[in-house]
């Protein structure tokens, strides 16, 4: 009886099949894999300006959507980690009572600075005096020249933190409240993260 030997061919097929099975799932990324993974999703979703649905005093009852800052567009390459690497520079939004407190501070700040803007008084010292006049200590207020006719400011309202940042120029006075930064204490934007 003649026996046909095939062990050499069979031994070569097994690693090939094993390699094909192992590489079939490698490098593939599905939307379901990202859900709940703690990382940014690939789908941008607008975040409502009132995440808790409760209007603050003096605010209209309808929420307007904020632009999304979730992640790069689906056309961006998956190797682009800019948003991930610079996430430490994105401030925390305020919610609930803290958001209402932030909006109240923004209103007081704009009201205090608007007379300076109308008079054309664009000096950091003048803005600093006006903000300290609202009851903030010298250590809580930072002001700086922002162009020839503009002044920027940053206020650390409290140590939770509640921060108000903005500026004024000939055209307008703007301010925005936020809740600090990840991996950083205080209200100034961090220059490095991990």
Encode pLDDT of 137-183 as tens digits: 999 999 999 988 899 999 999 878 899 999 999 999 999 999 998 87
DSSP notation for 110-175: HHHHHHHHHHT---HHHHHHHHHTTT--GGGEEEEE-STTEEEEEEEEETTTEEEEEEEESS-EEE
Q: Could you tell me how many residues make up the chain? A: 194
Q: Who's near 8: CB < 8 A, 6+ residues apart? A: none
Encode pLDDT of 21-49 as tens digits: 444 444 433 344 444 443 333 323 333 34
Q: What is the CA radius of gyration of the chain?
A: 27
């Amino acid at each position: 009886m003649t026996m046909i030997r095939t062990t050499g061919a069979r031994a070569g097929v097994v690693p090939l099949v094993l390699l094909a099975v192992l590489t079939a799932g490698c490098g593939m990324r599905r939307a379901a894999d990202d859900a709940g993974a703690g990382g940014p999703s690939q789908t941008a979703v607008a975040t409502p300006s009132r995440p808790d649905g409760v209007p603050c005093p003096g605010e209209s009852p309808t929420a307007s959507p904020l632009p999304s800052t979730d992640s790069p567009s689906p056309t961006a390459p998956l190797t682009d980690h800019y948003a991930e690497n610079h996430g430490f520079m994105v401030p925390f939004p305020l919610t609930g009572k803290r958001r209402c407190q932030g909006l109240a501070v923004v209103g007081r700040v704009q009201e205090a600075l608007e007379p300076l803007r109308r008079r054309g008084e664009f000096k950091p010292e003048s803005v600093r005096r006006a903000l300290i006049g609202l009851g903030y200590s010298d250590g809580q207020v930072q002001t700086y020249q922002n162009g020839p006719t503009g002044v920027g400011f940053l206020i650390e309202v409290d140590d939770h933190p509640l921060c108000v940042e903005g500026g004024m120029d000939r055209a307008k006075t703007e301010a925005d409240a936020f809740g600090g930064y990840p991996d950083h204490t205080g209200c100034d934007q961090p220059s490095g993260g991990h």
